[in-house]
Amino acid sequence: MWNSAAGRYEPARDRIVLADHNSDRLPAYLRLDLGVRNEVHRTWFGRDITIVPYFQVLNVLGNRNVVTGQPQLDYRGGGEVEYLPAMPTLPTFGMEWRF
């Protein structure tokens, strides 16, 4: 890990957590993505083109899914796991142009 105060890299000795194999699991992951696409075929300057407008919503359910867990250790060697959330509900739109 980079230690900005010391100006050098140091081994990540405080990040090692000893535990039995498969002794813990991340919470359940549930996500639903929905999308709509429409292909439009046209001729433009004598060439066939396809325009595909689309709209999609990622993580429609809005679940706070977990990507990973990071141990937050205290000075006594104990600590808790901080779970880092995945992407929130995200609407996107765009257009593909094939020629």
The answer to whether the CB of 13 falls within 8 A of the CB of 6 is no
Task: Give the per-residue pLDDT at 25.
Answer: 83
Give the residue from 35, 97, 42, 30 showing the smallest Cα distance to 66. 30
**Predicted pLDDT at 40:** 96
Q: What is the pLDDT of residues 11-42, one digit of tens each?
A: 655 556 667 888 888 888 999 999 999 999 99
Which amino acid is present at 5?
Answer: A
Show me where the domains of the chain are located. 2-98
Query: What is the per-residue pLDDT across 53-97, written as a single tens digit (0 to 9) for each?
Result: 999 999 999 999 998 888 777 767 667 888 888 889 999 999 999
